[in-house]
């Protein structure tokens, strides 16, 4: 977690008796998650160098996702002859702020399944609704975008990196659920693990390596992987999924405390970026969220969305309006 200027609140002593002590227990508050995503009018975004077919993940050894993103930005700063999205920072219009965590709980699934990163139409539709992935705070310790005086640049390599990991973790978790009650070690997770010298190790695609901390962790627990045991492999798979989520999420969460009411200050976990919000959505899914999804009836959208209570046919009121406008 990181401290940011906007999250440091100044407390004023408004009572005559002087400062009071405030205690907060987790039982009182439970989980409080929030996301704030700034979305601008589509005219403030432009897609650059999309004809260049050179989105490529590098194979350099990296410590973590945080440093991997910083590395991507550093390389991008040296060579901007690659696909990226430009956003104009200062605009005349007020941007829309959306709580994507609660409004679009399945956005991460759409990011995995519906977006072709080389298709300009897919990307334009996405950013018109949800904005860029990276932290929009130019003073943030996270380097996910390149900030110039008027522009913010987000390389598509960041999208590629995050999408690949998100897809991997989501599919791995689905395999875990699928195999949890099946005692069939022959098939178990063979898509994700490879047997090497009698040890199961995660199977990675070439040039899309995970941060090395995962290798290190698996080295440390070598005996763990000695047996071809269903339960051990399942535990290893769960640990792998958990590590990936933690690596992508832990530096992307801020911890503001709201003191609107002095008797009950409320700690809030707030994601700093859209990509952080999507990893949080995956975490929620892993925690046992039962998917109750439908596909948006607006053909131009087709996104999957969470069905709340009464059966809605559209992912948003926008899509509903567009659908009936097109019909008439």
Binding site for Zn ion (CB under 5 A): 296, 298, 301, 303, 315, 319
If the CB atoms of residues 166 and 301 are measured against Zn ion, the closer one turns out to be 301
If the CB atoms of residues 33 and 323 are measured against Zn ion, the closer one turns out to be 323
As measured in angstroms, the least distance from the Cβ of 311 to Zn ion is 15
Counting every residue written for the chain, the total comes to 328
> 135: closest CA among 224, 37, 57, 49?
37
Distance (Å, whole) CA 259 – CA 106: 31
Sign (positive/negative) of CA torsion 52, 72, 125, 310? positive
As measured in angstroms, the least distance from the Cβ of 297 to Zn ion is 8
As measured in angstroms, the least distance from the Cβ of 295 to Zn ion is 9
If the CB atoms of residues 253 and 315 are measured against Zn ion, the closer one turns out to be 315
As measured in angstroms, the least distance from the Cβ of 42 to Zn ion is 16
As measured in angstroms, the least distance from the Cβ of 323 to Zn ion is 8
Distance (Å, whole) CA 165 – CA 9: 35
Sheet of 33-35, strands arranged across: 33-35, 269-271, 253-254
Q: What are phi and psi of 193, to 5 degrees?
A: -125, 150
If the CB atoms of residues 226 and 318 are measured against Zn ion, the closer one turns out to be 318
As measured in angstroms, the least distance from the Cβ of 160 to Zn ion is 24
As measured in angstroms, the least distance from the Cβ of 47 to Zn ion is 21
If the CB atoms of residues 101 and 303 are measured against Zn ion, the closer one turns out to be 303
If the CB atoms of residues 4 and 313 are measured against Zn ion, the closer one turns out to be 313
| Alpha helix (H) residue ranges in the chain | 26-29, 65-78, 100-103, 107-113, 120-130, 156-179, 212-220, 230-249, 274-286, 317-327
Residue with tokens 């900030």: 147
Q: What are phi and psi of 164, to 5 degrees?
A: -65, -45
If the CB atoms of residues 23 and 308 are measured against Zn ion, the closer one turns out to be 308
Distance (Å, whole) CA 256 – CA 8: 7
- Two structure tokens written together for 80: 């901007």
Through-space distance between the first and last CA atoms of the chain, rounded to whole angstroms: 50
* Residues 7 and 256 sit within 8 Å (Cβ to Cβ): yes
If the CB atoms of residues 127 and 283 are measured against Zn ion, the closer one turns out to be 127
As measured in angstroms, the least distance from the Cβ of 173 to Zn ion is 25
Strand-strand pairing, 151-155 and 253-254: unpaired
* Residues 87 and 45 sit within 8 Å (Cβ to Cβ): yes
- Two structure tokens written together for 290: 């039962």
Torsion of CA 292, 297, 303, 308, to 10 degrees: -30
As measured in angstroms, the least distance from the Cβ of 302 to Zn ion is 7
If the CB atoms of residues 52 and 293 are measured against Zn ion, the closer one turns out to be 293
């Amino acid at each position: 977690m990181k401290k940011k200027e906007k999250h440091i609140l100044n407390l004023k002593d408004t009572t005559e008796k002087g400062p009071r002590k405030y205690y907060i227990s987790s039982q009182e508050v439970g989980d409080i998650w929030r996301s704030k995503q700034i979305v601008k009018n589509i005219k403030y975004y432009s897609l650059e160098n999309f004809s260049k077919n050179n989105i490529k993940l590098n194979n350099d050894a990296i410590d973590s996702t945080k440093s991997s993103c910083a590395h991507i930005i550093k390389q991008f700063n040296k060579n901007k002859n690659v696909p990226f999205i430009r956003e104009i920072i200062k605009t005349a219009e007020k941007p829309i702020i959306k709580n994507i965590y609660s409004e679009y709980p399945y956005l991460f699934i759409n990011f995995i399944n519906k977006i072709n990163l080389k298709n300009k139409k897919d990307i334009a539709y996405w950013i018109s609704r949800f904005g860029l992935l990276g932290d929009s705070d130019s003073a943030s310790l996270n380097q996910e975008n390149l900030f110039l005086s008027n522009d913010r640049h987000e390389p598509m390599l960041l999208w590629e990196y995050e999408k690949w990991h998100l897809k991997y973790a989501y599919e791995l978790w689905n395999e875990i659920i699928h195999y949890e009650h099946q005692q069939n070690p022959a098939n178990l997770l063979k898509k994700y693990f490879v047997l090497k010298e009698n040890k199961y190790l995660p199977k990675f695609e070439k040039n899309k390596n995970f941060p090395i901390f995962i290798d290190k962790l698996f080295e440390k627990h070598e005996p763990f992987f000695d047996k071809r045991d269903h339960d051990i492999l399942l535990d290893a798979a769960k640990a792998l999924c958990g590590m990936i989520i933690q690596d992508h999420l832990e530096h992307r969460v801020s911890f503001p405390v709201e003191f609107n009411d002095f008797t009950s200050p409320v700690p809030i976990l707030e994601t700093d970026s859209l990509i952080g919000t999507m990893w949080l959505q995956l975490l929620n899914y892993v925690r046992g969220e039962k998917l109750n999804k439908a596909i948006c009836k607006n053909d131009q959208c087709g996104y999957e969305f969470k069905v709340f209570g009464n059966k809605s046919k559209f992912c948003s009121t926008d899509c509903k309006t567009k659908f009936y406008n097109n019909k008439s």
